[in-house]
Amino acid sequence: MTGITRFGAYIPYYRLAHSEIARAWGGRAGTGERAVANVDEDSITLAVEAVRDLLAGRDASGADGLIFASTTSPYAEKQASALIATVTDLRRDARTADYTNSLRSATTAIRAALDSIEAGSASSLIIASADTRLAPPKSAAERTFGDAASAVEVGRDRVIAKLVAAHSTIDEITDVWRKGDDRFVMGWEERFSVTQGYRRVVCQTVNELFERSAIGPSEISKAVFYAPDQGTLAGVARTLGLKAEQIPDHLFSSVGNTGAAMPVLVLSSALESAQAGEKLLVVGYGSGCDALLFEVTEEIENARAETRRGVGGHLSSKGYLDSYERYARFRELIETESARRQAPSASAAETWRNRDEIYKFYGSRCLACGKVQYPSQRVCISCQAKDNFESVPLADKPATLFTFTLDYLNADPDPPTVMTIVDFEGGGRAYLMMTDRDPADVKIEQRVEMTFRRLYTAEGFTNYYWKCRPLR
């Protein structure tokens, strides 16, 4: 039996109300809000958080590989999945792959991973999907798009949702696209894109799956789709003979259209309350369609007992951007004053030498006296023992704010920069930026947690590192 064994999700802390977008541009506000990645987040950092949520403190060495699915990878030529696998501490011999350029890249990746499990070439694979799509300012998509990530693990052991049937089709159509030098997602006339693209292809593919599997729409407990908006989703569901109660909340009014991450994010939400025996339909769309049919097993109860934030936890933990202008600074839609200090520099060689500390956030423990130190040193600062250390992962350790300062002179799109010194439970101290914070609420002895973020771009590549944030 092959299928989904674990799941996780990540939704950024910030939300932007639809009414605030309407205030900036005029027009109808509507109700709801969209999730907005912080200025130091991108699809890689979002995917890292989703995988960490899936692992929930569990050792990642059991995974045989990681696949990253996104239409917004920060790199056109550099494997993002290798970085995500390194940060989340997968084995060095794990396989990695990037699935890109399509809104159905996540469902395609899941089906390919399941085929690998079925063929016996792997026993456990993680699929992480994330998107931070950028819509043209003042467009309808600027309100409907949202940023998020999701992750599922597939395998043979402890399966919580077994694969029952799968069917895929291809359909060449230019409905939604973005070239390599485009900042914004482009789209053709909406009626053509929906009627001749999305609705036609999805209905044909799902109906063919029903026919091949001899399972009808009435047997589906929850149907999860990628869909451009709530109205289009409702129309397709009716055409397929699905009732309103079979369509779970697709998070359009609370998170937004999250691109490639959408079907897996909504699937993760459905699994949080799924019962054994329920059949879950998962549909991805983009130049064709993937339709996957799962049946929930008794193992779902054990999976729910694991500690994770999941979709529900991230939905309930949020803060609001107080203005559209702040969002515009986050996305560099407006120019701001350049830094008055020396421009940041970077070294690929130095990052490579220290990648365990930078990416895995490893400190060291002295084997003579037990002192934990970060960054690692050759000589213990406590007992002066030399070269007698073991590595200690700090990313999942609870921490407390020892002291902090507010820097208003740093080139920060969201000033002030909050610089902190944090103490880790069990030992260790680090000097870190704080993110996802209200400077007025920062205080000594505040509980914080670690999060992987962008620092800056220099020498043509992005520098990533760990920051702290108030406990979500």
The CA R_g of the chain, rounded to the nearest whole Å, is 23
Closest CA to 12 of 32, 31, 40: 40
The angle at the Cα of 167, spanning 163 to 168, to the nearest 5 degrees, equals 130
Q: Please give the pLDDT value at position 212.
A: 96
The reply to whether 19 and 132 lie within a common domain is yes
Cα Dmax for the chain:
73
**Distance between CA atoms of 436 and 159, rounded to whole angstroms?**
35
Closest CA to 449 of 461, 427, 426, 432: 432
The reply to whether 318 and 354 lie within a common domain is no
Q: Is the Cβ–Cβ distance between 406 and 434 less than 8 Å?
A: no
Q: Is the Cβ–Cβ distance between 444 and 404 less than 8 Å?
A: yes
The reply to whether 324 and 442 lie within a common domain is no
Q: What is the DSSP letter of 400?
A: E
Give residue 438's domain range.
348-359+397-470
The reply to whether 296 and 401 lie within a common domain is no
Residue 133, C-beta contacts closer than 8 angstroms, at least 6 positions apart: 71, 72, 145, 147, 185, 259
Is residue 389 assigned to a domain? no
Structure tokens at 365: 């423990």
The reply to whether 303 and 352 lie within a common domain is no
* Number of compact structural domains in the chain: 2
Is residue 421 assigned to a domain? yes
Is residue 114 assigned to a domain? yes
The reply to whether 306 and 401 lie within a common domain is no
The reply to whether 307 and 406 lie within a common domain is no
Closest CA to 296 of 227, 220, 237, 245: 220
Domain of 405, CATH number, reads 2.40.50
10-residue mean pLDDT series, the chain (472 residues): 96 97 85 96 98 90 96 96 97 97 97 97 97 95 96 96 98 93 91 91 98 96 97 97 97 98 98 96 97 97 85 96 94 75 79 93 96 93 95 95 94 90 96 96 97 90 96 92
Domain of 227, CATH number, reads 3.40.47.10
**Distance between CA atoms of 357 and 290, rounded to whole angstroms?**
40
The reply to whether 323 and 408 lie within a common domain is no
Is residue 384 assigned to a domain? no
**Distance between CA atoms of 197 and 458, rounded to whole angstroms?**
41
Q: Please give the pLDDT value at position 341.
A: 64
Structure tokens at 246: 């079979």
The reply to whether 320 and 447 lie within a common domain is no
CA distances from 303 to 54, 161, 279, 296, 432 (A): 10, 11, 17, 11, 33
The reply to whether 253 and 212 lie within a common domain is yes
The reply to whether 35 and 167 lie within a common domain is yes
Q: Would you state the torsion angle of the CA atoms of residues 47, 197, 205, 127, taken in this order, to the nearest 10 degrees?
A: -10
| Three-state DSSP state, 461 | strand
Is residue 50 assigned to a domain? yes
Residue 194, C-beta contacts closer than 8 angstroms, at least 6 positions apart: 228, 232
For the whole model, what pTM was predicted?
0.96
Is residue 446 assigned to a domain? yes
Q: Please give the pLDDT value at position 315.
A: 96
**Distance between CA atoms of 198 and 176, rounded to whole angstroms?**
10
Is residue 224 assigned to a domain? yes
- Which residue, chain included where needed, has tokens 């699905």? 242
| Three-state DSSP state, 157 | coil
The reply to whether 319 and 407 lie within a common domain is no
Is residue 76 assigned to a domain? yes
Indicate the residue type of 91: R
Q: Please give the pLDDT value at position 303.
A: 87
Q: Which helix (H) or strand (E) holds 469?
A: strand 461-470
